[in-house]
């Protein structure tokens, strides 16, 4: 919810209070709270849905500063997109034929860092970095100054280090989550999925992870935890892919 109040020159914007603060704060707090896998996927899916709304708007709205500090989480763990100060509308195939200094380098797509023409696929790259943060709970490009990030990503084509299942989770949804994350962060904009596709690919992962969590809670109330076999029986794209490979 967003409202404008007051009279010129005293204007203010009243927005919804998101009690849990930014996703960045949740992921990087010194006393890191336990963040279950099903909740991390839900946060990613909520954020993807918000960005997809922007991209599906007519004309398309490109955020251009998509990052975990600009994703707010309310008391019900719903993730919402904020801070549209750098946003632009897309009136042609590209949003811009090239401009520098857009966004925060750690999350900014390489084509933007290089001052090349870019489209809404720049937001998709930024979202891939957010997915990387959610999986690893690390700061992207930690230890590098912003100018070094520009050189590494924009000029050298460097990529964030791979996240392993041992770091993220051993849940069966990880395979599909990791594949989507890598697709979103590819350096070729035309090969990145749309935000609508990102949202659609996250939905079954969210349903699978939440179903598994309900199984765990039911088993805990009954006095025993779910077996690995029962956990993998929850339908997911990864499980279906494995079944097809076995055939």
Q: Supply the residues annotated as catalytic.
A: 65
- DSSP category for residue 153: I
Rg of the chain (C-alpha set): 19
Termini Cα distance of the chain: 50
Cα 77 from Cα 132, distance rounded (Å): 19
Calculate the dihedral angle through the C-alpha atoms of 129, 135, 137, 138, rounding to the nearest 10 degrees: -50
- List the structure tokens of 102: 């857009």
- DSSP category for residue 126: H
CA 146 from chain centre, in angstroms, equals 21
Cα 86 from Cα 28, distance rounded (Å): 24
């Amino acid at each position: 919810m967003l409202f404008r109040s007051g009279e010129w020159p005293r204007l203010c914007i009243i927005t919804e209070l998101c009690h849990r603060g930014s996703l960045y704060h949740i992921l990087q707090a010194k006393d890191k709270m336990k963040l279950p896998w099903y909740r991390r996927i839900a946060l990613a899916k909520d954020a993807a849905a918000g960005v997809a709304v922007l991209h599906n708007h007519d004309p398309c709205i490109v955020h251009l500063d998509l990052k975990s500090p600009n994703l707010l989480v309310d008391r019900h763990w719903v993730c919402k997109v904020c801070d549209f100060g750098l946003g632009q509308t897309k009136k042609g195939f590209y949003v811009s034929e090239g401009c520098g200094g857009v966004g925060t380098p750690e999350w900014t797509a390489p084509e933007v860092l290089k001052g090349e023409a870019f489209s809404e696929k720049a937001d998709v790259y930024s979202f891939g970095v957010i997915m990387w943060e959610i999986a690893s709970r690390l700061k992207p490009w930690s230890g590098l100054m912003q100018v070094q990030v520009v050189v590494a990503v924009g000029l050298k084509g460097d990529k964030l280090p791979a996240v392993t299942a041992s770091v993220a989770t051993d849940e069966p949804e990880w395979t599909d989550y990791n594949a989507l994350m890598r697709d979103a962060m590819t350096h070729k904009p035309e090969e990145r999925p749309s935000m609508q596709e990102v949202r659609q690919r996250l939905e079954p992962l969210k349903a699978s992870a939440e179903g598994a969590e309900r199984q765990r809670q039911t088993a805990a109330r009954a006095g025993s935890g779910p077996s690995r076999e029962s956990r993998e029986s929850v339908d997911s794209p990864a499980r279906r892919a494995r079944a097809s490979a076995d055939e």
